[in-house]
Amino acid sequence: MQPMDFFAKPLKLTSDFTGNTMKALTITIASGKGGTGKTTFATNLASVIGKDRAVSLLDCDAEEPNCHLFLNPHIVSAEEVTIPIPEVLPEKCTACGICDEVCEYHAIIVIKDQVLVFPELCHSCGACLRFCPEGAIIERGKTIGRIERGNAAGIRFVHGFLNIGEIMTPAVIRRVQKEERDADIRIIDAPPGTSCPVIEAVKDADFVLLVTESTPFGLYDLKLAVDMVRQIGIPCAVAINRSTIGDDRVNAYCRQEDIPVLVEIPDDRKIAEAYSRGRLISEADREYENLFRNLWKSITGLVEKKRTDGSITENKRRS
């Protein structure tokens, strides 16, 4: 499938909320299936890169962030994540019903002369206040989560948490993504799946590493993830975790689709134990330190190659 032409270098660079452009090389670690090892790859990669270079790790799995359990960052600042929600000024409102008409999410409804707002349904599109003829709607921030910034052994660290019961995960991820845009290297840990939260975590990446396992579930969900990154038009490669537990079908699929498999990690009790205790395998074991160093070399090699053959344009696509 050809990448869509929306991602060909746009004329206009500043449609982002921030207006920032970005210089960082951004690598997102994603997977269709959950529990394949995204966090293991993100934290170990950041740790080995951090030994020689400045690196930032952004944990964008805002529903269940786990990178902090392995890096134990010293948190230096925190900020609430808010989304704008309409508030009706009763003294100006004439209950004309236009806000109700223009809201696609039924988040604001007018019954007789009463206007009711349902914040949990609101997507913060701004339609209601834009089209209110009386100027009777303003926006206030509703807290849906928080971000925290910190440092962990030379790694600059940011993660986002969605508050329990909230659903606007993409908004928290979008907020995390605004951080560390001036860094040299950004490693992003994405949520599982292929729907809207994942898109937010993947869309600014120069390169996506898809972590899978050699099982039928792993393969099926990998195919969905490959479709996703191809639709967005970002180059990707695959890492096979616990490669010895299943069969060879993941490798066969990658060969057929011409997707590089950069590393295969066997099912190793040492990794499972380190993981279960929140330790980094690349710190506990020299062999794995080398493995992650080599993986990083392979990634940068591929990114360099894709840059020269033109399939990665400057990462100013949508930022």
Partner 1 sequence: MKEIVIISGKGGTGKTSLIASFAALAKGKVLVDCDVDAADLHLVLDPSVEDEGDFSGGKKARVLDKACIACGECLTACRFDAVSVPEASSESGIPVINPIFCEGCGVCFRVCPAEAIAFEPAVNGRWFVSKTRCGPLVHARLGIAEGNSGKLVSLLREKARTMAEEKGLPLILIDGSPGIGCPVIASITGSHHVLVVTEPTLSGRHDLFRVLELASHFRIPVSLCINKWDINPDMTEKIEKEAGNRSIPLAGRIRYDSAVTKAQIEGTTVVEYTDAPISGEIRSLWEKTVQNMGQ
Shortest gap between Cβ of 175 and partner 1 (angstroms)? 14
CB of 155 to partner 1, least distance (A): 18
- 145 touches 161 (CB < 8 A): yes
Question: What does the alpha-carbon distance between residue 53 and residue 159 come to, in Å, rounded to a whole number?
Answer: 20
- Work out how close the CB of 87 gets to partner 1 at its nearest, in angstroms, rounded to a whole number: 17
DSSP 303: H
Shortest reach from residue 165's CB to partner 1, in Å: 5
* Strand extents, DSSP E, 51-192: 55-59, 74-88, 108-111, 114-117, 137-152, 155-162, 185-189
In the complex, the smallest distance separating the C-beta of residue 70 from partner 1, rounded to whole angstroms, is 8
Shortest spacing between CB 207 and partner 1, in angstroms: 18
Closer CB to partner 1, 185 or 265, in the complex = 265
**Residues near partner 1, by CB under 8 A:** 4-6, 8-12, 15-17, 32-36, 39, 63-64, 66, 69-70, 102, 104-105, 123-127, 130-131, 162, 164-167, 169, 191-199, 203, 215-217, 220-221, 224, 227-228, 231-232, 245-247, 272-273, 275-278, 318
Q: Where are the beta strands (DSSP E) in 112-154?
A: 114-117, 137-152
C-beta separation of 110 from 99 below 8 A: yes
Instruction: Quote the CA–CA distance of 228 and 79 in Å, as a whole number.
Output: 31
Nearer Cβ to partner 1, position 104 or 113?
104
Other CB atoms within 10 A of residue 290 CB: 12
**Residues ≥6 apart with Cβ < 8 Å to 53:** 184, 185
Using the minimum distance from each CB to partner 1, give the nearer residue, 73 or 191.
191
Residues in Cβ contact with 118 at an 8 Å cutoff, skipping those fewer than 6 apart = 106, 107, 108, 109
For partner 1, the closer of residues 53 and 130 by Cβ is 130
90 vs 126 by CB, closer to partner 1: 126
Q: Which is nearer to partner 1, 47 or 185 (CB)?
A: 47
